[in-house]
C-alpha cells in the first residue's frame, strides 16, 4: 500500500539509514502541492533549508524561483524535494559549506524519494543537477551531455535533467552565469511543453 506524504514525512523524521542525520539539524522532506503534476528533485538541503526544514528556500531556491517565473511555471503547483534529505556539510571558518553526497547516502535516502514519487504520481519529473539525475535516472547519467532531453523512465511519462541552481551561483563570470541561467530557463520551459502534450 502506498504511504501518504504525511506518513512518509513522519517516518523520514527519524531516519538514520546513513550517518548524515548526526550533523544535520533535521530531516528536510519535500514540500508543495501533494497532487502536483510536476515534481522537481534537487540534490540535498543547504544551510538555510537545514535550519528551516523546507527545500529550496536559500539562495539556490530564490534563483530557482526566478528561473521558474521566467519559464512561466508556477512553483505553487509543483512538488519540490531532494534526493538526499539531510544536509551534508563541512565547516569553513564559521560557515557550513555544502559537500556533495556520496552514492551510499543517495542510496540510503532513495526509499523516501521513491515514496514521494509513488504518493504524488507526477506527470513530469525534473532532476536538478547530477545527484538528482543519478537518483532518478541512473548512476551513469551525465547532465553535461543530456541536459534538457526527455529520457524514458518508469517513474513518470516525462523525465529530464537540467542544471542545479546552486551551480549557477558558483559561476564567476557574469556572461557565463547569464548563459547558464538562460539554459536553465529554457530547460524549465520543457515542463509546459510536456504538460501541453496531453
Per-residue pLDDT tens digits for 13-31: 999 999 999 999 999 999 9
Q: Average pLDDT for residues 82-92, to the nearest whole number?
A: 95
Report whether pLDDT(3) > 80. yes
Would you state the pLDDT for residue 7? 96
> Does the pLDDT value for residue 198 go beyond 70?
no
| Beta strand pairing call for 38-42 and 78-82 | parallel
pTM of the complete model: 0.96
Query: Rounded to an integer, what is the distance from CA 104 to the centroid of its chain?
Result: 18
Exposure of 175 by Cβ count < 10 A (0-12 exposed, 13-18 middle, 19+ buried)? exposed
118-177 tens-digit pLDDT: 999 999 999 999 999 999 999 999 999 999 999 999 999 999 999 999 999 999 999 999
Choose among 39, 146, 134: nearest CA to 84.
134
List the domains of the chain with CATH numbers: 5-196 (3.40.470.10)
Average pLDDT, the chain: 95
Amino acid at each position: 500500500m502506498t504511504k501518504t506524504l504525511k506518513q512518509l514525512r513522519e517516518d523520514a523524521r527519524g531516519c538514520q539509514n546513513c550517518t548524515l542525520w548526526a550533523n544535520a539539524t533535521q530531516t528536510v522532506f519535500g514540500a508543495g502541492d501533494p497532487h502536483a503534476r510536476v515534481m522537481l528533485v534537487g540534490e540535498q538541503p543547504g544551510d538555510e533549508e537545514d535550519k528551516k526544514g523546507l527545500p529550496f528556500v536559500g539562495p539556490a531556491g530564490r534563483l530557482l524561483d526566478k528561473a521558474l517565473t521566467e519559464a512561466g511555471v508556477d512553483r505553487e503547483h509543483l512538488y519540490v524535494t531532494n534526493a538526499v534529505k539531510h544536509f551534508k556539510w563541512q565547516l569553513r571558518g564559521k560557515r557550513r559549506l555544502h559537500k556533495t553526497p556520496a552514492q551510499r547516502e543517495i542510496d540510503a535516502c532513495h526509499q523516501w524519494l521513491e515514496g514521494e514519487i509513488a504518493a504524488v504520481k507526477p506527470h513530469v519529473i525534473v532532476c536538478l543537477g547530477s545527484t538528482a539525475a543519478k537518483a532518478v535516472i541512473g548512476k551513469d547519467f551525465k547532465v553535461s551531455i543530456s541536459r534538457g532531453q526527455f529520457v524514458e523512465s518508469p517513474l513518470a511519462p516525462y523525465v529530464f535533467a537540467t542544471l542545479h541552481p546552486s551551480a549557477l551561483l558558483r559561476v564567476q563570470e557574469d556572461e557565463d552565469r547569464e548563459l547558464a541561467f538562460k539554459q536553465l530557463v529554457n530547460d524549465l520551459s520543457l515542463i509546459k511543453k510536456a504538460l501541453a502534450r496531453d
